[in-house]
Chain A
Amino acid sequence: MFGAGGGTSSYQEIEEADVVLLWGSNAREAHPIYFHHVLKGLDQGATMYAVDPRRSSSAKFADVWLGLNLGTDVALANGVGREIIAAGLQNQAFIDHATAGFEAYRDHVEPFTLDYVEQVTGVPAAAIAEMAHAYATADKAQILWTLGITEHHNGVDNVKSLCNLSLLTGHVGRWGSGLVPLRGQNNVQGGGDMGALPNKLPGFQDLTNPDHRAKFEAVYGTPLNPEPGLHLTLMFEAMEQGTIRGAYCIGENPADSEADSAHARKLLSGLDILVVQDIFLTRTAELADVVLPSSVGWAECDGTVTSSERRVQRVRAAVPPPGECRHDHEIIGELARRLGVDWGDPTPEELWDELRSLSPMHAGMSYQRLADEGGLQWPCPEMDHPGSPFLHGWLWEDDLGGRPPAPFSLTDHAGPKEELSAEFPLRLTTGRALDSYNTGVQSGGYDNPIRYGDALDLNPDDAAALGIVDGETVRVSSPRGAVEMAIRVQPDIPAGLAFTTFHFPELVDINTITNDEWDRESGTAEFKAAAIRVEKLRHG
C-alpha cells in the first residue's frame, strides 16, 4: 500500500540524490547525523531547496531558501504540482502506470497558479517555478520533512500534498528518489511497527481484520478487543468527557509536552488513577498516584529500536539500572502476574522472536543477524532476505505486484487555525535546538557551551518596533496563557515570525501558550502555529 509505514528511502540514497527538497525540517539540529548524509549529497553536487518559514541552520546549507508564510505548505506544494503539469514535466508514463486520480488532481491544482501561490505563500513565483522544474527534471530527487509539516491542524494534508509531487514525477519507489519523513524519537518508528497505534497490530497488521487478529489470539492465548483504541489527543478529549478515568503512562511526559499543557495537567490531575513508569520523576510523574521506576532503554536494557530508515537495531545494557529501577518488560510482566497471568520471565530476545513469528516484515531479523549486519531494514520477511533499502519498488513493476495504484490526494490550502489579530499580532512557531531534546528530561542532564536555554527569536525590525533589545526578558502571551522569556534578536527570522525551542519547561513553560488545535486524522497538535503578543515587562 502506498501511504503507510515509514520513510521510503535509505540514508545512503540522499548522498546520491540530484535534488533535495527539505521541507519543514531543521535536520541540521534535529537529525544531525542524517544531515551528514545530506551534506555528502550536497558536496557531490546535489541542489537543495529549503522550504521553511525561517532560515534555519539547515536552510543555510540550501542553494535556495524559500521562506514561505507559516502554514501555507499545501498551497506551495499544489503550486509546484500545477507548475510541473503546466510545463509538461510530469512523468506521464509513471502516472498512467502506477497512480490513480491524476485528472482530478490536475483539475484540483489548476487554480494554484504561480501568481496566486506567490500571494498566499510570500515566495516569489520565479523561485517556485525554479524549484518545480528542478524537482521534476532531476534524475533522483527526494522530499524530506519533519514536524514543520506534520505539527499543523492539517498536517496530514501537508504530507499528502508532498506525496502528490512524488507521484507526479515518479520520484518514489526507486533508488535515490523518495519521501523521507524524519522520525523525531529513537523508536517512534519502532513503536508503530510494534503496534503501539490505536488501530494496528504489530507489523502494521489491521486490528479490525479478523484473520490478522486470529493469528495473534492463537499465540497470545486470549481474544483481542477488535475495537481500535484512542490516540493521545483523543485520550485527553476522553478525559475531558470523563470517559477515561485512569491512565498508565510509560516513558512519556505529556504534562510538559502537550500543547496547551496547563490544560493537559489539569486533566491528568483529575484522573481517578494515574500510573507513570519512567526513569525520572517527571512533571507527569509528579501528578501520578503510583510511580514505577524503570531503566534507561538504550543503556540499561536489551532490545531493539527502529530508525527513520526502517532499520531495526539492537540496544544493549551497558550499565546496571540504579536502586530499585527495573526493566520495562519486567515491570509489565510483574503487573500481569499481579493481575493473574504469569508470562514467565522471557528475555528480550525471546520476546523479539515471538514478534518475528507474528509480524512477517520482521520475520527475517534474528538477533544474530541484527548484530552481524549492522541492523536490517524492514520488510525483511525471510532469514535470507537482505532487508529493504527503499519501499514501493512495486510501483515500477509490470503488474504493480497486484496492488492498487497509488492515489493522488486532493488537498486545500487552509492556513493556521489561529488567525493573527490586533491582540495577538505575531506568529509563534517552535522547534528543536541542537544540544537539547524535547522537554529536556534526558538532555537536561548535561551542560554544554552551546546551550542558551529557551529564548524567543525575533526579527530585528519587530524587536525595534517593540522597543526590545537582545537578551531582554519579555512577556509572551497567547489566548491560552503567558510566559516570561528572553529575546534573541535574529536577522534570519522574517518579520512577523517568532521562534522558540521547548526544552526547558521548568524555566519557560512554553506549551502553556502553544495551540492545541489538532489534526483529526493524525491526532497531532498545531505546535507550529500560534498567535502571540510580545510585551515589555513593566518595571516597578
Chain B
Amino acid sequence: MTLPTNPSGAASEVNVNLTVNGQSVSVPAGTTIHRACERAGIDTPTLCWAENLTPVNVCRVCVVEVEGNRTLVPSCARAVEEGMVVNTDSERVRHSRRMVLEFLASGVDLDQAEGLRRWLDEYEADPGRYDQDGLPARTVYEEPKVQDNLYIRDYSRCVLCYKCVEACGDDAQHTYAIAVSGRGFDARISTEFDVTLPDSACVYCGNCIGVCPTGAIQFKTEFDLRQASDWRPDEQTVTQTVCSYCGVGCNLELHVQDERIVKVTSPADHSVTHGHLCIKGRFGWQYVQPVDAPTRQRRP
C-alpha cells in the first residue's frame, strides 16, 4: 500500500531572481512583485489589494515600472519573472502614485482611510488643485445610507476598490447582495435597483465592512460613536479570541473601548476564517454587555 502524501505543505520551491531598485531579490516562482518588494524591505502602497481577496488591480496605486513594459504594471497582481528589472521609485512611478492618490482625494472623503494618509503625504498629493477657476471638481458625495441597526453605508467615502463586492461574492460569502452598478465616474456599489440592504440578499456577515479600507461601509456602533465624536481608536484594545457560536472555531478580534466591545474583526491570515465571519460572530456579542436586549434579562 502506498502511503498517500499530505500535499498541504507542498509546492516546489523554484526560485526566481529579479532586481528591485537595483537590489537583487530571489523569491519563489509565482510570487507577486508586491510580495517580492516586501521581501526586499520596500513598502508599497495598496488600496484594492488584500491578502484574503483575489487581486483586482483596479486602484493602480501599487504600480511599478518593469523594464520592457510600455506601461506601468500593478505589482499586486503581476507575478515575478526571471531577470525582471523593477523600479518602484522612479519619477514615473511616483507620478502615477501621486496622481492616483490625488484623484481619489479630489473626489472622495478619505478622512477615515487610515492606511492612505501616510501615502498622501509621501507622494505629496495635492487634491486641492482640481478645484480651480470657480469650477469645483466633481465628487462622489451622497448622504450616508442608514437602513438598519448593524451597518451604515457612506458612499462619499467609497473609492470603488471592489473589496466589498469580492467579500460579499466570489472571495468569501457568495451572497452577492452588492455589485458595481453604473459606469465610469457614476459607477457605485449597489444592490439591485438600489433597494435597501434589509430588502436585499444581504445576510449581514459584515465581511464587506471587514475589508473596506475607507469607512464607506462600517459598523453602526462605530458610526454612532464617530457621530458623537467618541470614537477613540488609540484607546482601544484588540483581543484575539474564538467565537462562541457553532463549532467551526472562528478567530475574533474584539475591539474594546471603555470596557465595551465596539466592533469585531477577524485576522485575514487565519486558516479558519481568512478574516471572514458570519452575522453571529460579527454582531452576536451584544449579550456580553446588554443594553436594550428585548428578550433577555440583564446579567445578574
Q: Which residues of A contact B (CB under 8 A)?
A: 10-12, 30-34, 36, 39, 43, 61, 93-94, 97-98, 174-175, 182-189, 279-281, 291, 293, 296-300, 305-309, 311, 313-320, 322-325, 374-375, 389-390, 393, 396-398, 434-437, 440-450, 504, 506-507
A174 B272 Cβ-Cβ under 8 A: no
Nearest chain A residue, comparing its CB with the CB of B247:
A183
Nearest chain B residue, comparing its CB with the CB of A181:
B247
Across the interface, B278 reaches (CB within 8 A) one of A32, A311, A322, namely A32
Can you pick out 22 interface pairs between chain A and chain B where the beta carbons lie within 8 Å of each other?
Answer: A36-B273, A61-B174, A97-B1, A182-B247, A279-B299, A280-B296, A307-B242, A307-B248, A307-B249, A308-B248, A309-B272, A319-B259, A374-B272, A389-B8, A443-B284, A443-B287, A445-B288, A445-B290, A446-B286, A447-B149, A448-B204, A450-B198
B249 A442 Cβ-Cβ under 8 A: no
A-B contact count (CB 8 A): 224
Asked whether any CB of chain A lies closer than 8 Å to the CB of B97, the reply is: no
CB distance from B10 to the nearest CB of A (A): 10
Binary CB contact string for chain B from 232 to 257 against chain A (1 if under 8 A, 0 otherwise): 00000101111111111111101010
B244 A442 Cβ-Cβ under 8 A: yes
Q: Which residues of B contact A (CB under 8 A)?
A: 1-8, 148-150, 170, 172-174, 197-198, 202-205, 237, 239-252, 254, 256, 259-261, 269-274, 276-281, 283-290, 293-297, 299-300
CB distance from B214 to the nearest CB of A (A): 24
Given known contacts A12-B271, A280-B299, A313-B242, is B276 in contact with A33 (CB within 8 Å)? yes
Query: Residues of A contacting B273 with CB < 8 Å?
Result: 33, 36
CA distance A242 to B2 in the complex (A): 57
Nearest chain B residue, comparing its CB with the CB of A306:
B249
B261 A305 Cβ-Cβ under 8 A: no
Query: Residues of A contacting B260 with CB < 8 Å?
Result: 319
Given known contacts A389-B6, A437-B245, is B261 in contact with A319 (CB within 8 Å)? yes
CA distance A12 to B7 in the complex (A): 11
CA distance A325 to B299 in the complex (A): 9
CA distance A504 to B172 in the complex (A): 29
A281 B8 Cβ-Cβ under 8 A: no
Across the interface, B248 reaches (CB within 8 A) one of A33, A298, A442, A506, namely A33
Given known contacts A183-B246, A305-B249, A308-B248, is B293 in contact with A446 (CB within 8 Å)? yes
Given known contacts A293-B299, A318-B261, A434-B278, is B247 in contact with A448 (CB within 8 Å)? no
A437 B299 Cβ-Cβ under 8 A: no
Query: Residues of B contacting A504 with CB < 8 Å?
Result: 295
Query: Residues of B contacting A507 with CB < 8 Å?
Result: 295
CA distance A182 to B277 in the complex (A): 17
CA distance A175 to B3 in the complex (A): 11
Question: Given known contacts A10-B8, A297-B244, A396-B2, what 4 new A-B pairs fall within 8 Å (CB)?
Answer: A11-B248, A30-B246, A313-B249, A440-B295
A186 B278 Cβ-Cβ under 8 A: no
Nearest chain B residue, comparing its CB with the CB of A183:
B247
Across the interface, A435 reaches (CB within 8 A) one of B1, B172, B279, B290, namely B279
Across the interface, B241 reaches (CB within 8 A) one of A318, A320, A398, namely A318
CB distance from B105 to the nearest CB of A (A): 33
A299 B254 Cβ-Cβ under 8 A: yes
Across the interface, A320 reaches (CB within 8 A) one of B170, B172, B259, B278, namely B259
CA distance A507 to B260 in the complex (A): 29
B248 A449 Cβ-Cβ under 8 A: no
CB distance from A392 to the nearest CB of B (A): 12
Across the interface, B3 reaches (CB within 8 A) one of A309, A397, A443, namely A397
B280 A443 Cβ-Cβ under 8 A: yes
CB distance from B265 to the nearest CB of A (A): 12
